[in-house]
Structure 1
Amino acid sequence: MNSPRLAPAATVMTHRAGDVLYATGQPLSPHPQTLLDHLDAWACDAPDRVFLAERDGDAWRTVGYAAARERVHAIARRLLQDGASVGTTLLLIDGNSIAHALLSLAAMAVGVIVIPVSPVHLHSAQGLARIASIAQRVRPALAYMADAVVSRPSLGEADACRWLSPEMLSGTETTQDAVGGLHALFLERRARIGGDTWAKFLLTSGSTGLPKIVIHTQHMLCAQQQQMAQLWQFLNDSPPVLCDWLPWNHTSGGNNSFNMTLRNGGTLFIDEGRPTLRDIGQSVRNLREVSPTWYTNVPLGYAALLPYLEADAFFAEAFFRRLDLLVYGGAPLPADLWRRMNALCRRSTGHAARWASGWGLTETTSTSAITHFETAGTGEIGVPLPGMSFRLSPRRGLYAVAVKGPNVTPGYLGDEERTREAFDDEGFFRTGDLVSFVDPANPDAGLRYEGRSSDEFKLASGIWVVPGRIKADLPSHTGPLVQDVVVAGPGRLQLVVFLWLNTELARRDFEGSADESGQGTDSGALLCFLEEAVAAYNAVHTGSSESIARACVLLEPPSAAFGELTDKGTINQRRFLSRRADVVEAQYMHAAGQAGVVGFAVGESRTPHPVAAC
């Protein structure tokens, strides 16, 4: 395994009027202002290097940097031929693909703003309504949909937009005279694209109401990659190779994985797999062939890969052979998963895995802080990126964090009120997140994520509860079986938690004789395991603000249709507790009758589930 070159940890702290200003000592270096600058540079410096690859049966369909630039220019000319103008919006309904990438870059090259939308929304009434809602707010002049099998969705009042055909992406133009005239227009438009040009819109998760439309400028996208490369210095040493499934309509995949590849002249193998038992086999197949140098996933994804890595030494060797870093995000990595992945890496390479994590939001171009040093455990998010400043405001033993830097959005489209509320009078963006110092005596050790401030509440005793701490610590006892946790207790004397299980892992690890529904999960063994895990958690969390009086295993998973589940797959805690108030009340009645006992119950089921009733 390689020894990646990382910047030394060096932070600067300033105390001011009760707050702490916290930054990395390294300033941000000069960098290109547009993604198109990176494409132009690599098309000249490494014309034949593969930029993007996607599956085509047993082979990979690829496009090199020079060919990608040629096709981007040709598609851009076709957009101009179709009347595309600066500042109009392209609604791009497609999964990760070469066509998606080239169309997106072509639009940006002539000042058309891209808003990527997952094609998953095409297959449900709620999804189609979401697409129509997005179109109503952004009023796209252009739209593209790759799925030819599904009918075009209704865009309501935006139905007059022009739909682009997949054939247009071939880049063929009508006549040579047209090419000449359009190319001159293209060069004129391209010259007007700068750092302040709006590049794309991304939607927030919608965890606190209607999703906000976040403006991303070209400078934001480029600054973030320069910031990361200054701390993860190995990115400048050799082109990274990624095999990545993270969707481009979300910030981590679209702003981090894709832009990291482009900024550093790397190669991105588009993984059509997903971290589910049904689709993980596709990821395993791809990773056997690719051997990435940089790999990122959510904890659930690592949990899905782990059995394959443990069962197949050849796969483990291919996976770990040339990795610089394993990166995780979205949730803390369970300690058992960390330990088992490290053991696999040692067997394959002689070294423990080199882990990294970070923290950020859609409004900060995905990333605001990263670890670029050895970490002591999961949940650490590192230090601010170069050029950023964090304002940490004390809040009941933690810090509310606000950020300022070149990768922070200028605001929300068409929403001056929420834009104004998001920034303080010094221009710091209020993230709504809580952090703590890993080692208060050593700021270079970085920060730990503690959850959302909007999730905090008081018990009847007046003691404050920080649900983020429980959500981070409980999975270290349950492992990846518990996918998420909702904490109830405002105005109560005790805490009750609701556990959202990874049902596929429950089937795999607790498979027994089939129950009455024929779903074959040994619910007794499953609940016994969970009871022991919560008891172990309570043994080290004895205070009323952390100790769990009762846990309820969810039969009905959180619903996106009813707003319980956000677009990026996280739980909207307030919406969840409000919708299921009757179930919450029932669990408190059980808890009152069994004081001091950790009980497990199942909520009223509206859909089949592999966990049987107790």
Structure 2
Amino acid sequence: MSSPRLAPAATSMTSHPAHDLRYATRQPLKPYPPTLLEHLDAWASEAPERVFLAQRDGAAWCTVRYGAARERVHAIARMLLDDGAQVGSTLLLIDANSISHALLSLAAMAIGVVVVPLSPVHLHSAQGLARIESIARRVRPSLAYMADAAVIRPALGDAGACRWLSAQMLDDAGSRNHADTLHALFRERRMRIDGDTRAKLLLTSGSTGLPKIVIHTQRMLCAQQQQMAQLWQFLEDRPPVLSDWLPWNHTSGGNNSFNMTLRNGGTLFIDDGRPTLKDIARSVRNLREVSPTWYTNVPLGYAALLPHLEADASFTEAFFRRLDLLVYGGAPLPADLWRRMDALCRRSTGHGARWASGWGLTETTSTSAITHFETGGTGEIGVPLPGMCFRLTPRRDLYAVAVKGPNVTPGYLDDEERTREAFDDEGFFRTGDLVSLADPANPDAGLRYEGRSSDEFKLASGIWVVPGRIKADLLSHTGPLVQDVVVAGPGRTRLIVFLWLNAELVRRDFDDDGAGSNNAHGEALRAFLEGALAAYNTTHTGSSESIAQACVLAEPPSAALGELTDKGTINQRRFLARRADFVEARYAQLDLRSGAVDFAQAQNPVAHPAAAPVTHPVAHTAAAC
């Protein structure tokens, strides 16, 4: 693992009326191309034989090189023009990460067609199909793509009355004869595309209502990558190589991983695995073959990888062999997971793992702040990207953060009211997130992420609870054994937490299935968790932090019910609303089992009558990479 070249830290912080702080990086933002297609053209000319994208095809990798990618993008764009595609029209793209997905997206954006990527996971439930229909009615697509359109078209009704593209049509595009006038039209259309042109629409999670449709312009996408490259300067030292599963309908995968590869002439191996017990083996296989220089994952993903790395020295060597940086986001990284990954890296390379993290939202093109310096622990999100300014408004002992910069959305599609509510009179976007200063005496030390303000709640005593802090601190005691945490307690006098365990670590370290059976292994698991809970409570004695009981859930959060995002993070508000009766039952037993760790044998997945309508969440990240 080489030593990554990072920009020196230099920030400024000034006070404004009402004790607000203005926080920015002193380094000015350098010029950047107006459109993503400029990057494709540049690398197709400079390195036409370099692999741009690779996709698993059985035992081999199917690849497309930069030169061929440009030719295919131009051919697909001319096909779309031949079909009458107009600037500002929308393309509904329902597909997993794939080479076809990438080329079609770039071709559409090349001629001003706005891409609306949706996850194919929605095809597997009635709620998901209803969500696709709802989104289709709002974005009014003139074009749509899905590998097997017959699956979805009947469910969309008149909302799907548009031109449907197929994989065969994309494959055939390069062999079609286009008149010279059409070539001229393509060149003319490219000249009309600039930084203000809409490139894509991405959805927020809808955790507090109907999902918002976030406008992304070409300027946002290009500015974001210039901002990142100025702080993570090693991206320009050698083309990055990624093995990445993050979905492209989500801001982190689509706006960060993919665009970073394109901007820096890198290679993206599309990982067909996911951080689940069923699919993690595919990710391990891909990582073993690729040996990436850059690796991004959510803490859940790192926890899923950890048992495989600890059990196989050859995999560990392949994983760390040429890695520049490990990047995480989306949730706190357990300190014990950090330490164990660091130990593996030291045994393999002779030096510690180099970690980085960031923070951002769908509305900020994925990233607003990153750690571009070595940090000593988890939870830090770094400093604002060049060209951005943060406004930090005191909120009890934390700060509510609002942001301004060229990577911030101009607003929400056809939603003037929520766009107006999202921005203040000075043009700052209100993120709804809470942060603290890592070192109040040293602005260059950056910020710590503390959670969503919408997740905060009051106890019956009127004292505020910050679930994000509780989750991060509890995970520091449990390590990667606990994958995620939900904190319950609005209007109560005491707090209960719900936990999900890493099944592979449970089996490996406790020889148990995690169901809490009354055998010796199950009791050892219970004793470990109760010890971690007791250790946490020793230093968190106040009613707003102390945990009265922990309940281990075997059933994972439901994506179909909107409790789980595509990135694998839990929507706390949705979970608590959906499981209100179940939560009530746990509190009914609290007095009898106070201080214990309980294993729930059955859960209540049925919507509580007061719960909001189901919509599967896509992309409003609390701490995205």
Between the aligned partners of 2:397 and 2:243, the Cα distance in structure 1 is 40
- 1:92 to 2:93 alignment: yes
RMSD between aligned residues: 2.2
Note the C-alpha offset of 1:559: 3.1
Say if 1:380 and 1:515 are closer, same or farther in 2 by CA, change over 3 A.
Answer: closer
- 1:135 to 2:110 alignment: no
Aligned residues of 2:390 and 2:404 also touching (Cα < 8 A): yes
Please identify, of 154-163 and 11-20, the stretch whose mean Cα deviation from structure 2 is larger: 154-163
Say if 1:584 and 1:605 are closer, same or farther in 2 by CA, change over 3 A.
Answer: closer
Say if 1:145 and 1:192 are closer, same or farther in 2 by CA, change over 3 A.
Answer: same
Say if 1:493 and 1:172 are closer, same or farther in 2 by CA, change over 3 A.
Answer: closer
Between the aligned partners of 1:480 and 1:513, the Cα distance in structure 2 is 16
Aligned to 1:289: 289
SS of 1:276's equivalent?
coil
Aligned to 2:258: 258
Aligned to 1:570: 569
Say if 1:418 and 1:63 are closer, same or farther in 2 by CA, change over 3 A.
Answer: same
Note the C-alpha offset of 1:593: 4.1
Aligned to 1:344: 344
- 1:527 to 2:526 alignment: yes
Say if 1:174 and 1:588 are closer, same or farther in 2 by CA, change over 3 A.
Answer: closer
Say if 1:21 and 1:175 are closer, same or farther in 2 by CA, change over 3 A.
Answer: closer
Note the C-alpha offset of 1:587: 2.7
1:375-422 Cα shifts (integer Å, max 9, x gaps): 120111000000000000000100000000000000111111111110
Between the aligned partners of 1:559 and 1:174, the Cα distance in structure 2 is 44
Note the C-alpha offset of 1:333: 1.1
Note the C-alpha offset of 1:30: 0.4
Matches within 5 A, 1:206-245: 206-245=206-245
Aligned to 1:586: 585
Aligned residues of 1:515 and 1:521 also touching (Cα < 8 A): no
Please identify, of 98-107 and 117-126, the stretch whose mean Cα deviation from structure 2 is larger: 117-126
Between the aligned partners of 2:379 and 2:119, the Cα distance in structure 1 is 29
SS of 1:256's equivalent?
helix
* TM-score, normalised with respect to structure 2: 0.92
Note the C-alpha offset of 1:566: 4.2
Aligned to 1:356: 356
**How many residues are paired up?**
604
SS of 2:254's equivalent?
helix
Between the aligned partners of 1:498 and 1:355, the Cα distance in structure 2 is 28
Please identify, of 476-485 and 271-280, the stretch whose mean Cα deviation from structure 2 is larger: 476-485
Identity of aligned residues (%): 79
Q: Which is bigger in relative contact order (C-alpha 8 A, separation at least 6)?
A: 2
Say if 1:522 and 1:149 are closer, same or farther in 2 by CA, change over 3 A.
Answer: farther
1:292-330 Cα shifts (integer Å, max 9, x gaps): 111111112112222222222222122111111110111
Matches within 5 A, 1:63-462: 63-147=64-148, 150=151, 152=153, 154-172=155-173, 176=177, 178-462=178-462
Aligned residues of 1:511 and 1:521 also touching (Cα < 8 A): no
Aligned residues of 2:37 and 2:106 also touching (Cα < 8 A): yes
Aligned residues of 2:582 and 2:603 also touching (Cα < 8 A): no
Between the aligned partners of 2:148 and 2:363, the Cα distance in structure 1 is 29
2:600 to 593, 599, 602: 602
SS of 2:199's equivalent?
strand
Between the aligned partners of 2:137 and 2:149, the Cα distance in structure 1 is 23
Please identify, of 89-98 and 460-469, the stretch whose mean Cα deviation from structure 2 is larger: 460-469
Between the aligned partners of 1:171 and 1:48, the Cα distance in structure 2 is 22
Structure 2, gaps ≥5 residues long:
606-625
SS of 1:327's equivalent?
strand
Aligned to 1:611: none
Between the aligned partners of 1:572 and 1:326, the Cα distance in structure 2 is 25
Aligned residues of 2:514 and 2:554 also touching (Cα < 8 A): no
Between the aligned partners of 2:190 and 2:352, the Cα distance in structure 1 is 47
Return the letter of the residue paired with 1:455.
Answer: D
SS of 1:570's equivalent?
coil
Structure 1, gaps ≥5 residues long:
608-614
Note the C-alpha offset of 1:128: 1.3
Note the C-alpha offset of 1:520: 11
Aligned residues of 1:207 and 1:571 also touching (Cα < 8 A): no
Aligned to 1:495: 495
Please identify, of 497-506 and 82-91, the stretch whose mean Cα deviation from structure 2 is larger: 497-506
* TM-score, normalised with respect to structure 1: 0.94
Matches within 5 A, 1:475-490: 475-490=475-490
Between the aligned partners of 1:66 and 1:121, the Cα distance in structure 2 is 34
Say if 1:279 and 1:520 are closer, same or farther in 2 by CA, change over 3 A.
Answer: farther
Between the aligned partners of 1:475 and 1:394, the Cα distance in structure 2 is 26
Between the aligned partners of 2:555 and 2:308, the Cα distance in structure 1 is 29
Between the aligned partners of 2:12 and 2:20, the Cα distance in structure 1 is 14
Say if 1:142 and 1:540 are closer, same or farther in 2 by CA, change over 3 A.
Answer: same
Note the C-alpha offset of 1:146: 1.7
Between the aligned partners of 1:290 and 1:567, the Cα distance in structure 2 is 24
SS of 2:33's equivalent?
coil
Say if 1:173 and 1:320 are closer, same or farther in 2 by CA, change over 3 A.
Answer: closer
Matches within 5 A, 1:9-48: 9-17=9-17, 18-48=19-49
Aligned to 2:611: none
Please identify, of 337-346 and 276-285, the stretch whose mean Cα deviation from structure 2 is larger: 276-285
Aligned to 1:610: none
